[in-house]
Amino acid sequence: MKFEAATIKDIAIALGLSTSTVSRALRDSHEISVATKQLVLEYATRINYHPNPIALSLKEKRSRSIGVIVAEIANSFFSQAINGIESVAKDKGYNVMISQTHESFDKEVMTLQYLASRSIDGLLISVSSGTENLEHLKALHDRGFPIVFFDRIVEDIQTHKVMVDNFRGAYNATLHLINKGYKHIAVIAGPENLSISRERVAGYREALAQTRVKPGKALIKYSRYAGLHLQEVELAVSQLLKLRPRPDAIFTASDKLTTNCMRVLKSKGIRIPEDIALVGFSNSDLIELLHPPLTVVRQPAFEMGQIATSLLLQLIESKKPVKEFERKILATNLIVQSSS
């Protein structure tokens, strides 16, 4: 049997009232008596009636839903950011539609088209590692569609942006390794086309420059899919291990790169930190349970999700076009443990 949701008409027929009377009672209109309101509300509760969101969106000219596009929901950073997003959205009466790209530009385009067709009121997005062409985003933005970028931002679209201090986070992690006495520090970063990768590599370079060390090109590796696929991390680590002198420490510039780098080193019998130290960006709650516990750059993911959502809802609910935008940069936190 096909499920059919209860309607105002069903309530009206059951109670012998007009649909307009039922509608006004559900809206708590002063035109309807207290007794009738109580009768309608009690029956609506009994049959599990809920307002039709499509009908409401047509009436209010908004869906009270926002879209969220991230690379991978299973990624601890993004799952924490989504928790922050939902905490604000729920409090403001908005539903959240979440989708993931798995670092595919084509999936990002299709996902955006799908969400837009569902009449969402706005979009929060951390672009995929393969996103270089921005036409799909510009087309919506140019028509006044509210978009806020978080984590992985793009510079060519003028809107609110929320991110961490990528440069400082990478700088602090690399400086920590230098202060611990490591001499040959390599970095594995996400794709070079993303500003987040370039900023983290720049922080790594600056920390080395403090000790008048200029890293050789061979010590800097970029990962096309930001560590999503273990094979690309295996290739980068294998290339680093062939260098002479071999790196005595590796800084990894994203969550997936960090955990997959640790997995690869262990599979090759490399002891951490005795043979190679490891420091990386990670928001995993399990870092203390790993052997050894990882030294990580932790990002305020939950707070980032909250701030990005608040800024998006400001765009959605503004009565006039917004022309001044905020760029929120949040501090990271270096958690030092045994891996370094």
Render pLDDT for 165-191 as a digit per residue (tens, 0 to 9): 999 999 999 999 999 999 999 999 999
Does residue 64 have a pLDDT over 70? yes
194 and 289 both lie in a single domain: yes
Does residue 58 have a pLDDT over 50? no
What would the two tokens of residue 310 be?
Answer: 């608040």
Q: What is the CATH number of the domain that holds 31?
A: 1.10.260.40
Q: What is the CATH number of the domain that holds 130?
A: 3.40.50.2300
> How many separate domains does the chain show?
3
Does residue 319 have a pLDDT over 70? yes
* Residue of 195, 147, 138 lying closest to 170 (CA atoms): 195
DSSP class of 300:
-
The residue count for the chain: 340
Considering the domain boundaries, does residue 59 fall inside one?
no
Give the rounded distance of the alpha carbon of 259 from its chain centre. Answer: 18
Average pLDDT value for residue range 250-267:
95
Q: How large is the angle between the packed helices 301-317 and 76-91, nearest 10 degrees? A: 40
Q: Which domain holds residue 185?
A: 166-298
Considering the domain boundaries, does residue 340 fall inside one?
no
269 and 310 both lie in a single domain: no
Considering the domain boundaries, does residue 37 fall inside one?
yes
202 and 113 both lie in a single domain: no
Q: To which residue do tokens 């990670």 refer?
A: 282
Q: What is the pLDDT of residue 22?
A: 85
Work out the percent of the chain whose per-residue pLDDT is above 70. 95
214 and 294 both lie in a single domain: yes
Does residue 119 have a pLDDT over 60? yes
Q: What is the pLDDT of residue 1?
A: 44
Considering the domain boundaries, does residue 58 fall inside one?
no
Considering the domain boundaries, does residue 334 fall inside one?
no
Does residue 148 have a pLDDT over 90? yes
219 and 184 both lie in a single domain: yes
222 and 156 both lie in a single domain: no
291 and 175 both lie in a single domain: yes
Average pLDDT value for residue range 124-146:
91
Average pLDDT value for residue range 305-315:
97
The helix (run of H) or strand (run of E) holding residue 252 is strand 249-252
Average pLDDT value for residue range 320-331:
92
Better-scored residue on pLDDT, 314 or 7: 314
Range among 49-58, 208-217, 263-272, 319-328 rated most confident: 263-272
Q: What is the pLDDT of residue 61?
A: 55
Better-scored residue on pLDDT, 62 or 302: 302
| CB distance 287 to 263 below 8 Å | no
39 and 158 both lie in a single domain: no
197 and 176 both lie in a single domain: yes
Considering the domain boundaries, does residue 275 fall inside one?
yes
Indicate the pLDDT class of residue 53, thresholds 50, 70 and 90.
Answer: low
Average pLDDT value for residue range 216-238:
93
Considering the domain boundaries, does residue 336 fall inside one?
no
Considering the domain boundaries, does residue 335 fall inside one?
no
258 and 208 both lie in a single domain: yes
70 and 17 both lie in a single domain: no
Global pTM?
0.81
Residue 286, CA distances (Å) to 177, 259, 290 in order: 22, 10, 7
Mean pLDDT of the chain, nearest integer: 90
184 and 275 both lie in a single domain: yes
